[in-house]
């Protein structure tokens, strides 16, 4: 655990390949109302320190929280979205889970409230080997439907079945007339390093993941980006809630002023990211990824930025797409309304100021 104060700023070492495909499994909690410490510290749990969370990275890379007078205890990243969402009932006060993990927590009756959405639209790209592209006779600038149709007969490496990336790519294939498992061979590869290695060595023709994994083959010269799911090319996915900010109603009741301060700091970081992306990219690179190849960083940032520039206020449209996505592979259908999951009062007020 790390504590952020005005005297000590947080720095983190980030693996070049981070898991942004969030698991759906639930975890048990002890029923406590978050971590709420007596010394005024706000305990924060993150799911990842990846390009899918640019506003989160920006928030913790500069002085936004300190300027609001908040002292933060930062917990080690946990890629399980459900566990991160439910951490606000046990070990944390505020968390940044993948949105897919929020719905099962709320449906299970946990005291989990989403108060903002920092990423709208998946940050996933579909990368295809150049030798496979040549065999299709289709180019990367062809219409999307033609590109997806060209995947027929290829082998596609995806993260574990049921992850949000797996669900979204299968949906993308189906929308464009390609039947998963029938028209394309899908090879589940849960380990991210193994996924990249499989494409590099030609064991699969294509992979789907978020940056920097998705762009590594592009930088190394053997692959091209074939589709970017959240960059605006696929309008159906663009509004989807992808990363939320959650807390508990108990924490809001106990320390509502601190929740508002936290959201105000987050909004300032988000605005800085949108108003001057080049400057924000340098701050994020310096603080989080100083050793990442600059070309890989630039590509990763370029593909991820649009999903972080759509505002922090959750929308009913984004929620509905999220709900449909989660229910696409759930054993039991989740029946929740927007109001069951989201409290937008504070972030709406701050965004309007």
Domains of the chain: 2-122+240-352 (3.40.190.10), 125-228 (3.40.190.10)
pLDDT tens digits, 239-288: 999 999 999 999 999 999 999 999 999 999 999 999 999 999 999 999 99
- Angstrom distances, CA of residue 88 to CA of 111, 126, 251, 343: 8, 33, 9, 15
Length of the chain: 353
pLDDT tens digits, 324-344: 988 876 778 999 999 999 999
Name the helix (H) or strand (E) containing 63: none
CA 254, 256, 259 angle in degrees (round to 5)? 120
Residue 21 has pLDDT above 50, yes or no: no
Rounded mean pLDDT of 132-150? 96
CB 195 within 8 Å of CB 157: yes
Beta-ladder partners of 244:
117
Rounded CA gap, 173 and 177, in Å?
6
Pairing state between β 2-4 and 72-75? antiparallel
Please give the pLDDT value at position 333.
93
Pairing state between β 94-96 and 2-4? unpaired
Pairing state between β 223-228 and 113-120? unpaired
Q: Is the peptide bond before 212 cis (omega within 30 degrees of 0)?
A: yes
Rounded CA gap, 74 and 92, in Å?
9
CB 195 within 8 Å of CB 279: no
Contacts of 99-102 spanning 24+ positions with Cβ under 8 A: 99/240, 99/241, 99/242, 99/243, 99/244, 99/322, 100/22, 100/24, 100/164, 100/322, 100/325, 100/326, 101/22, 101/23, 101/24, 101/47, 102/244, 102/246, 102/341
Residue 74 has pLDDT above 90, yes or no: yes
301: which 2 tokens? 């940032």
Rounded CA gap, 311 and 90, in Å?
29
Rounded mean pLDDT of 155-180? 89
**What sign results for the dihedral spanned by CA atoms 100, 263, 106, 315?**
negative
Residue 173 has pLDDT above 90, yes or no: yes
**What is the DSSP annotation of 114-173?**
EEEEEEES---EEEEEHHHHHHHT--TTS-HHHHHHTTTT-EEEESSTTSHHHHHHHHHH
Mean pLDDT estimate for the chain: 88
Task: Collapse the DSSP code of 275 into the 3-class scheme (helix H, G, I; strand E, B; otherwise coil) and give the result.
Answer: helix
Name the helix (H) or strand (E) containing 244: strand 241-247
Please give the pLDDT value at position 184.
97
Q: What is the pTM of this model?
A: 0.84
Residue 33 has pLDDT above 80, yes or no: no
Higher pLDDT, 191 or 161: 191
Residue spans of alpha helices (H) in the chain: 54-61, 64-67, 81-86, 102-107, 130-136, 144-149, 164-175, 192-200, 213-220, 249-275, 277-288, 294-304, 316-327, 338-341, 345-352
């Amino acid at each position: 655990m790390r504590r952020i104060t005005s005297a000590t700023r947080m720095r983190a070492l980030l693996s070049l390949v981070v898991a942004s495909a969030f698991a759906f499994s639930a975890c048990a909690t002890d029923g406590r109302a978050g971590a709420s410490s007596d010394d005024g510290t706000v305990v924060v749990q993150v799911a990842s320190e990846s390009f899918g969370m640019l506003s989160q990275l920006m928030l913790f890379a500069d002085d936004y929280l300190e300027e609001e007078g908040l002292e933060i205890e930062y917990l080690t990243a946990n890629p399980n979205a459900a566990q991160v969402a439910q951490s606000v009932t046990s070990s944390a006060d505020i968390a940044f889970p993948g949105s897919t993990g929020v719905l099962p927590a709320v449906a299970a009756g946990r005291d989990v409230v989403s108060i903002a959405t920092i990423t709208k639209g998946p940050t996933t790209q579909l990368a295809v080997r150049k030798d496979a592209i040549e065999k299709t006779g289709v180019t990367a600038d062809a219409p999307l439907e033609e590109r997806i149709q060209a995947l027929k007969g290829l082998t596609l490496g995806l993260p574990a079945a049921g992850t949000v990336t797996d669900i979204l790519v299968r949906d993308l294939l189906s929308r464009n007339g390609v039947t998963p498992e029938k028209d394309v061979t899908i090879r589940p590869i849960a380990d991210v390093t193994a996924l990249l290695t499989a494409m590099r060595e030609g064991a699969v023709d294509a992979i789907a993941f978020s940056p920097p994994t998705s762009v590594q083959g592009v930088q190394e010269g053997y692959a091209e980006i074939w589709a970017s799911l959240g960059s605006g090319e696929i309008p159906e996915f663009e509004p989807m809630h992808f990363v939320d900010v959650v807390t508990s109603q108990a924490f809001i009741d106990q320390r509502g002023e601190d929740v508002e301060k936290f959201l105000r700091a987050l909004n300032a970081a988000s605005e800085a990211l949108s108003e001057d992306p080049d400057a924000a990219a340098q701050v994020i690179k310096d603080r989080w990824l100083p050793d990442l190849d600059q070309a890989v960083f630039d590509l990763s940032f370029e593909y991820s930025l649009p999903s972080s520039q759509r505002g922090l206020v959750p929308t009913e449209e984004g929620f509905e797409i999220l709900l449909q996505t989660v229910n696409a592979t759930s054993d039991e259908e989740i029946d929740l309304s927007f109001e069951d999951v989201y409290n937008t009062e504070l972030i709406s007020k701050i965004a309007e100021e």
